[in-house]
Amino acid sequence: MRALTWHGKHDVRMETVDDPEIINPRDAIIKVTSTAICGSDLHLYDGFIPTMKSGDILGHEFMGEVVETGSGSTLKKGQRVVVPFVIACGSCYFCTKHQYSCCDNSNPADNQDISEFGYGNRMSGLFGYSHMTGGYAGGQAEYVRVPYSDVGPIVVPDGVDDDKVLFLSDILPTGWMAAENADIEPGDTVAVWGCGPVGLFAIQSAMLMGANRIIAIDHFPHRLELAAKFGAETINFNDVKVYDALMEMTGGIGPDAVIDSVGLEAHGLFVDNVVDQIKVSTFLGTDRIHALRQVILACRKGGRVSVPAVYGGFVDKFPMGAFMEKGLTMKTGQTHVQHYTPALLNAIIEDKIDTTFLISHRLPLENAPDGYKLFHDHQNETTKIVLKPGMEKIQVEMPA
C-alpha cells in the first residue's frame, strides 16, 4: 500500500510499504477514506519528538471503511468508522475511569521505558506518534491496523460526509476537552492562545458551554478572522502587548479562564522565546513555553488554566510563583477521545457543531509531503488539510 513515512526533520515521503495485517483478535483493518494533518504532526515534522525511526508511518487523524476484523472485534465489514488517535484497551484501571489517554495496556513498545523514565509512568499508545507511544503505524496511509477495535472506533451513520466527522478523531474532542478543563461558568471571560484547529474548536466549545466573552490570540490574520466568526474578540500579538491588552479588556483583573492551544513551538520575537529557542537548538532545553508563561501571568487570581497544547520535556522559567500565589488550577493531557465521541457525533448530526469551516485544502494522499510543507510554512492560509487516499497526485501551488 501507499503511505506517508517520516525520515527526519522536514523529510516525509510517500512510499510503498507492506499492507497491515490482523495481529490480535481485537484488531480491525480500516481502508482509509480521509485523513488529516495535525499541529501535533508538525512537532514530528520539526524533529521535536524523540524515538522516531526512519520509515515510520505518520497520521493519527483518520477514518474509513472496515475491511477486515479479528475474532474479538465488534466491528462489521463495510461499516464506516472514525478512529480516535488514542489507543485504549477499555478495561484497565484508567480506561474504566474514562481516562483513555492514560491507558496502561496499549503501549507495548520496547521504548516504553523512555516515557517511564522521563514521565514517571508509561504513556498510552497513539497512532503514528513515535516509539515512545507504541510505534504504531499511522493513518496517513491507504490501510491501517486498529488495535482494540471494539473500544475506539465510532461507527458513522450513512449519509454523513467524511468532512463533517473526521475531526472526531482528535481536534474536535481536544477543543471540547480544553474548554471543559477550563471549568467554564456562565458569564466567564475566556482567553484562548492559538487559533489553529484546536484553538478554534476550543472557542466554539467554550461558546456552547456558556462563556460570555472569548478573546482569541494569534498573529495570523486569517486564523483570527475565523475566531471572530465564532464571536471571539481578537488580539494580534504582532500589533499589541498581549498582557496589557487583556488587562485593559478585563477591567484590570485578567480572564477567568485561559486556554493554551499553542504548545512547545511558540512563535514570536519575545525575549523569553528567543532564549528558549537558543536553548532548544543547543540541546540545553526541550520546549519553547512562551505561551504557557503568558497564560499564567495573564489569568485572573483564582482562575483556571487549561492546556490542550503539547509539551514534551523539562521546561525552564516556569512561573510557579505566579501560579501558586494567584491560586490557579491547571488541567491538561492528551485527549480522552473515546469519552467524548458519542456526544460530539450527535452534536454534529444535529448541526450544533460545525467542523467543515476549518478545511482549507483537500489533497490526494500522494501529495501529503506538499501538505506538510503548506501546513508548516503557510499557516495563515492553511487551516486544515484533509488527505484522500486513492486519488492521483496533482501539482500543488505554494502561496507566495
Nearer to ligand NAD, 148 or 372 (CB): 372
Q: Which of 190, 291, 292, 305 binds ligand NAD (CB under 6 A)?
A: 291
Which of 31, 164, 219, 388 is the binder for ligand NAD (CB under 6 A)? Answer: 219
Q: Residue 104: helix, strand or coil by DSSP?
A: coil
Does 309 contact ligand NAD by CB under 6 A? yes
Rounded to whole angstroms, the Cα distance separating 259 from 292 reads: 9
Question: From the CB of 297, what's the least distance to Zn ion, in Å?
Answer: 28
In the bound complex, what is the minimum distance in angstroms from residue 85's beta carbon to Zn ion? 6
The whole-angstrom separation of Cα 334 and Cα 92 is 17
Q: Determine if 39 is a binding residue for ligand NAD (CB under 6 A).
A: yes
Q: Are strands 257-260 and 304-307 parallel, antiparallel or unpaired?
A: parallel
Residue 103 interface partner, choices Zn ion, ligand NAD, none, CB cut-off 5-8 Å depending on type: Zn ion
Q: State which of positions 191-210 bind ligand NAD (CB under 6 A).
A: 193-199
Q: Tell me whether residue 76 or residue 98 sits nearer to ligand NAD (CB atom).
A: 98
204 binds, among Zn ion, ligand NAD, none (CB under 5 to 8 A by kind): none
Please tell me whether residue 62 binds ligand NAD under the rule CB under 6 A. no
User: In whole angstroms, what is the distance from residue 97 CA to residue 159 CA?
Assistant: 33
Sheet with 304-307, edge to edge strand ranges:
233-236, 213-218, 189-193, 257-260, 304-307, 329-332
Closest listed residue to residue 299, CA positions, set 204, 193, 378, 400: 193
What is the distance, to the nearest Å, from the Cα of residue 261 to the centroid of all Cα atoms in its chain? Answer: 9
**Residues in region 328-347 near ligand NAD by CB under 6 A:** 334-335
Rounded Cα gap, residues 276 and 172, in angstroms:
30
Query: Which x/- pattern over 140-179 shows residues binding ligand NAD (rule: CB under 6 A)?
Result: ------------------------------xx--x-----
Interface residue with ligand NAD, options 129, 148, 220, 340 (CB under 6 A) = 220
Where b means 16+ CB within 10 Å and e means fewer, 179-215 reads bbbbebeeebbbbbbbbbbbbbbbbbbbbebebebbb
Residue 268, binding choice from Zn ion, ligand NAD, none, Cβ under 5 to 8 Å by partner class: ligand NAD
3-state secondary structure of 399: coil
Rounded to an integer, what distance in angstroms lies between the CA atom of residue 333 and that of residue 233?
A: 27
Contact between 266 and ligand NAD by CB under 6 A: the answer reads: yes
Q: 66 or 337: whose CB is closer to ligand NAD?
A: 337
CB of 27 to ligand NAD, least distance (A): 23
In angstroms, rounded to a whole number, what is the distance separating the alpha carbons of residues 94 and 69?
Answer: 26
C-alpha to C-alpha distance for 308 and 378, rounded to whole angstroms: 23
Decide which of Zn ion, ligand NAD, none touches 95; Cβ closer than 5 to 8 Å per partner kind.
Zn ion
Q: Which does 249 bind (CB under 5 to 8 A by kind): Zn ion, ligand NAD, none?
A: none
Part of the chain binding ligand NAD (CB under 6 A), chosen from 16-24, 45-53, 307-315, 341-349: 307-315
Spatial CB neighbours of 11, under 8 Å, sequence gap ≥ 6: none
Q: Among residues 122 and 288, whose Cβ is nearest to Zn ion?
A: 122
